[in-house]
Amino acid sequence: MEWYSLSIQELIRKTGCRPEYGLSAKEAKRRLQKHGPNELAQEKGPGLFKKFISQFKDFMILTLLAAALISFLASYSRGEADFTDPCIILAIVLVNAVIGVFQEQKAEHSLQALRSLQTPEAIVLRSGERLTLPSSELVPGDVVCLEAGGLIPADGRLLTCHNLTTEESALTGETGTVSKCTEALPAHSTSLGDRKNFVFSGTMVTTGRGTFYVTDTGMNTQIGQIAGLLASEEAPETPLTKRLNKTGKLLGFLALAICVVVFFLGIQKKQPVFSMFMTSVSLGVAAIPESLPALVTIMLSLGVERMARQKAIIRHLPAVETLGSATVICSDKTGTLTENKMTVRDSYCLCDTAFLARLFVLCNDQTGPMEQALVEFAEQYHVSYSSENEIAPRIFELPFDSGRKRMTTLHNTPEGFLSVTKGAPEILLANSTHYYENGSMHPMTSSKRKEFKETSEQFASQALRVLAAAFRKMPTAHKDNSLEKELVFVGLAGFMDPPRREAYAAVKSCKNAGIRPVMITGDHRATASAIGQELGICSHDSEVLTGREIDLLTDKELSRHLGSYRVFARVSPTHKVRLVKLYQQQGNVVAMTGDGVNDAPALKAADIGCAMGQSGTDVAKNASDMILMDDNFSTIVSAVKEGRSIFENIKKAIHFLLSCNIGEIMTIFVAILFGMDVPLLPVQLLFINLVTDSFPALCLGVEPPDSDIMKKPPISAGKGMFSFGSVFQMIVEGMFIGSLALFAYTAGNSTMCFAVLSLSQLVHSFNMRSSHSLTETGLFSNKKLFFSVLLCAALQCCVITLPVLQGIFHTVPLTATQWGMVTVLSLLPIPLVELEKRCGR
């Protein structure tokens, strides 16, 4: 039912409501049983065990577990006690699962924050008595009393209100307090911000008092519907997760295919069945970069630390990279692009502006954002609120009322009695007989009235909220409505929640980076359009679409015209989620910024949700992937840059790992193909993959970004991790490394093969730093990489030279000549790749 369109008399007639009596205790109990408590539904999330098990769904993880099981069964069936290989693989998988479990808390936190918004107690009329009851006991039909400073416990239609204003920006996105009324509204006033005769659960009473008829409780309230959206909304899979899953499946199938081919090839060459089976498993182990899942997690964690230093807190690790793929940033207006603080942007008078400021501070209670803005405006002209009210103390007032649209105060001044009126320009102009110019009063003329009216309309066209000020001097005090007649009109003040200074450059940077900035707000069309044009988000009013217009379009129609709009005004939480999803259906990676309760569902639905850390509600923060601690929209630009840099570095690391693994596969495959013994054992392959490959790969993750990274288009979410050219490079580089290891095997022994394969991969890590030559980037500019290579080389030497490790890794000591050959062969990847770079990749 459209409660806001009913008059109070119609509401009483249809519902049987008795405003002075309320419900009886018996009827309230019956309704409580029917509708349930006034609480948000609590859904029990998966336990720790289920979360832990869910970490093993990744195809690469399953392949590793299968390899560990086969290796264990093979050792057990032969009566051996060597379980090193399966234990190492299991350790990697378990560590990765534990890290993943701690990332899955967002939905529960969002709902908990929503519950905390509900006030614990409410003043209710029951059988004609005022009772203070737990808000959970409220039922539809209750009559609830409201007082200034209290949280509203349920949704409802106002029955009475006296100077009642509420703060609803967290729910509607509209800046400032909302003046309430009891009159019926037109049926088409469907936007939350337009329902002036309605109050909403979880919002706050800022001034005045009133009573309301409860229409909705619990999950049926506006906050309850948001909670339902959050509970049902699935966070989308990130582009990085999609790419890694695709890469993992490809590597898993490749490993399985290699195992099968090698096994049957060995059988054809009359090799022992069990020996070939174990060799096939070894080759499968070689094909999979076991450290990749943990490596990506660590690299993302390092990115999180860097972003934290830039005031961006990441709550969900893959979100770091997702930002680099963002093609659309849907931003809330209030508190995100604007300061969420009313400011006097313009004023107009025909006298000293300080006189206008003096009137505004006299007729002022400092209770709302507009009155506070007037006090700050006056301070610019050295007019003090406290001093002026001390010189001219207030002796009477006619308080502001939404029906009268004005407020009047009477002051006792040294020159006599002075009444000051502020309010809607059209009301004050209608009651003014004079105007004030250059320190004196003049009779109001039609031309002057038109001048003030046109200025007021000009302010309004710029999306400014306009207040006028007038006064009246009198020899004796009149304490009645006559104070508001025969006024002297002084001037106007235009208010706006101004854009953040840094938002201008941030919007421009987004456009340069190929990212489309979009404003989605609950505020009025004119205000949203003005802010959008000022920031450069849109260029014309035709690029603005309202929530009511969105409702008239099907998803197909809206999707077809979505690219024509840059600003969406007067939207509800469901509109925001709908828009985010339509952008995603068009192949966009969507980032959503916001700070209010009304932003939470869209923050969760987006590929990456960015909440404001200072002004943001707990609900918004807990539904987000990233929190901007300085509430600075420009911080997101830095985060996008960091995201792109991390993606490029992850690509470098994976390129390095896969080219090395191709070298390992080639070494074993070619040896079997030509009837040689298997040159490398599974434990040696694991040592290379987990130790001598992982540390350099990790250090590739701290390479600084290219200087032009924010002038390139966004990383396509649908694009694979590597192009055909990159795959070809990996194969060529891997085959060369494998050839060096095979040469060492045929010219020496398996230990030399093991050493060359490991050390040549360490040397190859320097090639991966950049597409530019090492002579340009320098060998020592990434000190972390340089020292990690030295450390891994030392560990490789220990494995070969220390007796305690020789037994574990099946190695033998090498002579000086053999070490010399190993060194020369291991250094050869640098000149080869340098030649490749010079030929032009």
Going by C-alpha positions, the residue among 840, 831, 734 that lies closest to residue 775 is 831
Q: How far apart are CA 510 and CA 471, in angstroms?
A: 49
- The dihedrals phi and psi of 812, each to the nearest 5 degrees, come to -130, 155
Q: How far apart are CA 548 and CA 550, in angstroms?
A: 5
Asked if 181 and 197 count as a contact pair (C-beta separation under 8 A), the reply is yes
**Burial zone of 319 (CB within 10 Å; 0-12 exposed, 13-18 middle, 19+ buried):** buried
Active site residue 332: yes
Residue type, 471: F
Asked if 157 and 188 count as a contact pair (C-beta separation under 8 A), the reply is no
Going by C-alpha positions, the residue among 96, 511, 119, 127 that lies closest to residue 328 is 511
Angle at 608 between CA 605 and CA 611, to 5 degrees: 95
Secondary structure class of 493 (helix, strand, coil): strand
In sequence order, the 6+-apart residues with CB closer than 8 A to the CB of 409 are 362, 363, 394, 396, 397, 398, 419, 420
Q: How far apart are CA 795 and CA 476, in angstroms?
A: 98
DSSP letter string, 537-593 = S-SSGGGEEEHHHHHTS-HHHHHHHGGG-SEEES--HHHHHHHHHHHHHTT--EEEE
Asked if 821 and 802 count as a contact pair (C-beta separation under 8 A), the reply is no
Tell me which of 58, 216, 332, 625 is the catalytic residue. 332
Element counts in the chain: helices (H) and strands (E): 34, 23
Task: Tokens for 735, please give them.
Answer: 């085959």
Distance set, CA 202 to CA 93, 142, 215 (Å): 44, 17, 15
DSSP letter string, 442-481 = EE--HHHHHHHHHHHHHHHHTT-EEEEEEEEEESS---SG
Please, what sign has the CA dihedral across residues 248, 253, 257, 263? positive
**Beta strands 416-423; 465-474: pairing state:** antiparallel
List the catalytic residues.
332
